[in-house]
């Protein structure tokens, strides 16, 4: 059945379906590779980025490697938007990775041009064998990456075959020759890539057209330039609703590609870039397109590398601060980029949860200080602040728990899943500590309402309880993941000290009751205070034990 036939334009329904199916397979293959890399890397990716992006050059290397693996600069840039939005990375750290991502995205075109695509069935077979016949999680994840690559190549082969019949079309030949006009070529490349959100796919289609004998480098080079601008749409969409700095990541990505395109389009009018590439790589047009893409990206990176700081300043000027510091973003707001591409999502999730739990713990610690001080000073001035903090703790407990419930079902490394599950149990213990602080605040109101007085001995004991509770909580401040076992030992000792104090103070209270040194009303409140004090120690021990399970000694 002929799908379309007019003045030599011939494409059957089968060809059209093959073209759409091939593009779908290409994009799905990239998605599988992203999922496989996420499952294989996860938290390790976070640590690698933290250690190796301290300078722009190392950022270029890391960006190149990651993007070469997943074949999508859009996925890498979306990951960076998520990392900056979650506070995992600073804006300046992303510049080198963005540059490297653009280089890494050329790898797919190179592999296709040298004929690796012919091995697509074998690549799919190897990936399938790893998934079906191995029981090790790591090999299964690698299998996903490999089979994704094979599906990507199969999709490209399907598109190439679907377009072969168009070589007989006079109209189509006339259409693509207009691409020699720089502005038309750039516009077509930009719009098409913005729709399919993959410059790799656009370049792959150009290579398919070249393999079908339908275009020359002169026709395709400007479309290729435009594709680098169109691919920026993905990061721009991902940055909607994120922090100012996260939006700036998308702006830096756009600046890099627009400047590179402008330089090369203008340069092609002066320097015979197309002729140079054709002379250097005479083998085939598809090889010429692939290598022109590589040269374009590398030269742009070399030209803009010294201006990395300038790109950050430009992004800061384009996206102004809008007083974000006046309101703290919720964990859900910071997690808005965790959709679509999955690369880096588990690292983002762990970072977000860790940040929120540390924030929550600081509030709980502050409430313990405020409530004990209110008791000791018989002062209800800060009761409203304590209550507001308690409301924040309850809200954070709800938000963090809901967020964990949402992300724990996603595909991620087992290690990251265990850490996130541990955080779920941590947040409950922190919230309970906040409840005990609120109880202390409630005792202050009773003491003032009933004009209750504690003996000097009881007041001395309350001061000691305050110091013991605060010092024990301060043991858990900061990142202790590298020494969780030592931390557990310290907290265990602190919890035992709290238990010993509680036993001693209960016995002392009994003696005071016998000698009527302590009133019945004061005795009731003091007994409840001792219970709360002891429970704080229990929850701290629970946190330390859970932390040790999350980060066991190697």
**How far apart, in Å, are the Cα atoms of 285 and each of 198, 214, 221, 294, 334?**
21, 10, 11, 14, 45
DSSP string, 529-550: HHHHHHHHHHHHHHHHHHHHHH
Query: So what's the pLDDT on residue 2?
Result: 43
DSSP alpha helix (H) spans, 13-71: 13-41, 43-52, 56-70
Shared-domain flag, residues 297 and 382: no
201 vs 434, residue with greater confidence: 434
| Residue 533 scores a pLDDT above 70 | yes
| Residue 7 scores a pLDDT above 50 | no
88 backbone dihedrals φ, ψ, rounded to 5°? -75, -30
pLDDT in tens, 172-222: 556 665 667 788 888 888 888 887 777 777 787 787 777 777 788 888 888
How far apart CA 359 and CA 328 sit, in angstroms, is 11
Query: So what's the pLDDT on residue 395?
Result: 92
Q: Note the pTM of the prediction, 2 decimals.
A: 0.71
Shared-domain flag, residues 353 and 441: yes
Last residue of a domain, one of 260, 285, 319: 319
Domain count, the chain: 2
In a domain, 203, yes or no: yes
| Residue 112 scores a pLDDT above 70 | no
% residues pLDDT > 70 (the chain): 82
Last residue of a domain, one of 286, 304, 319: 319
Shared-domain flag, residues 195 and 146: yes
pLDDT in tens, 248-297: 999 999 999 999 999 999 988 888 888 898 888 887 888 888 888 889 99
SS (H, E, C) 255-291: HHHHHHHHHHHHHHCCCCHHHHHHHHCCCCHHHHHHH
Residue 452, SS3? coil
Contact status, residue 315 vs residue 252, Cβ threshold 8 Å:
yes
Least confident stretch, 132-136, 187-191, 515-519: 515-519
Contact status, residue 8 vs residue 20, Cβ threshold 8 Å:
no
Least confident stretch, 424-433, 473-482, 527-536: 473-482
Shared-domain flag, residues 430 and 513: yes
Shared-domain flag, residues 76 and 143: yes
In a domain, 271, yes or no: yes
pLDDT in tens, 488-513: 999 999 999 999 999 999 888 888 77
Mean pLDDT, the chain, whole residue set: 81
| Residue 95 scores a pLDDT above 60 | yes
In a domain, 332, yes or no: no
Shared-domain flag, residues 307 and 353: no
In a domain, 463, yes or no: yes
341 vs 147, residue with greater confidence: 147
Q: What is the CATH number of the domain that holds 434?
A: 1.20.58.220
Highest mean pLDDT among 106-115, 123-132, 210-219: 123-132
In a domain, 70, yes or no: yes
Contact status, residue 82 vs residue 344, Cβ threshold 8 Å:
yes
| Residue 6 scores a pLDDT above 60 | no
Contact status, residue 73 vs residue 67, Cβ threshold 8 Å:
yes
Domain residue limits at 40? 2-319
In a domain, 515, yes or no: yes
């Amino acid at each position: 059945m002929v799908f379309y036939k007019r003045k030599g334009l011939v494409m059957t329904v089968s060809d059209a379906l093959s073209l759409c199916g091939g593009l779908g397979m290409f994009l799905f293959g990239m998605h599988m590779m992203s999922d496989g890399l996420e499952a294989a890397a996860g938290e390790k990716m976070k640590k690698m980025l933290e250690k190796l992006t301290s300078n722009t050059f190392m950022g270029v290397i890391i960006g190149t490697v990651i993007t070469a693996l997943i074949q999508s600069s859009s996925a890498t840039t979306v990951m960076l938007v998520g990392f900056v939005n979650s506070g995992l990375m600073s804006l300046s750290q992303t510049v080198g990775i963005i540059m490297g991502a653009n280089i890494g995205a050329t790898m797919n075109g190179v592999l296709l041009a040298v004929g690796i695509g012919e091995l697509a069935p074998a690549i799919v077979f190897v990936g399938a064998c790893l998934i079906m016949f191995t029981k090790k999680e790591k090999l299964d994840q690698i299998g996903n990456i490999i089979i994704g690559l094979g599906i990507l190549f199969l999709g490209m082969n399907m598109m190439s075959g679907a377009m072969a019949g168009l070589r007989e079309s006079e109209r189509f030949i006339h259409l693509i020759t207009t691409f020699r006009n720089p502005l038309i070529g750039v516009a077509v490349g930009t719009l098409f890539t913005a729709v399919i959100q993959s410059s790799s796919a656009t370049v792959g289609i150009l290579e398919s057209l070249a393999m079908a004998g339908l275009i020359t480098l002169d026709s395709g080079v400007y479309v290729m330039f435009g594709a680098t601008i169109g691919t920026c749409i993905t990061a721009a969409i991902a940055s909607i609703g994120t922090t100012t700095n996260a939006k700036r990541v998308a702006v830096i990505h756009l600046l890099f590609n627009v400047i590179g395109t402008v330089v090369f389009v203008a340069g092609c009018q002066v320097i015979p870039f197309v002729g140079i590439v054709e002379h250097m790589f005479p083998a085939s047009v598809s090889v010429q397109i692939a290598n022109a893409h590589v040269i374009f990206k590398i030269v742009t990176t070399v030209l803009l590398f010294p201006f990395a700081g300038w790109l950050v300043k430009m992004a800061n000027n384009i996206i102004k601060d809008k007083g974000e510091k006046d309101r703290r973003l919720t964990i859900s707001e910071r997690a808005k980029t965790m959709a679509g591409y999955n690369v880096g999502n588990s690292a983002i999730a762990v970072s977000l949860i860790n940040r929120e739990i540390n924030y929550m713990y600081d509030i709980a610690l502050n409430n313990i200080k405020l409530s004990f001080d209110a008791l000791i000073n018989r002062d209800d001035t800060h009761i409203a602040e304590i209550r507001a903090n308690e409301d924040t703790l309850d809200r954070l407990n709800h938000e963090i728990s809901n967020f964990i419930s949402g992300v724990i079902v996603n595909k991620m490394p087992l290690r990251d899943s265990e850490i996130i599950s541990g955080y779920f149990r941590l947040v409950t213990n922190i919230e309970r500590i906040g409840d005990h602080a609120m109880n202390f605040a409630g005792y202050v109101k009773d003491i003032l309402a009933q004009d209750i007085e504690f003996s000097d001995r009881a007041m001395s004991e309350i001061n000691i309880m305050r110091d013991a509770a605060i010092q024990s909580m301060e043991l858990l401040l900061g990142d202790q993941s590298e020494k969780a076992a030592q931390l557990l030992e310290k907290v265990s000792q602190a919890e035992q000290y709290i238990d010993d104090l509680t036993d001693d103070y209960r016995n002392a209270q009994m003696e005071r009751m016998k000698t009527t040194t302590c009133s019945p009303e004061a005795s009731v409140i003091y007994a409840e205070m001792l219970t709360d004090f002891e429970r704080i120690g229990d929850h701290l021990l629970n946190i330390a034990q859970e932390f040790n399970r999350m980060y066991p000694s190697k």
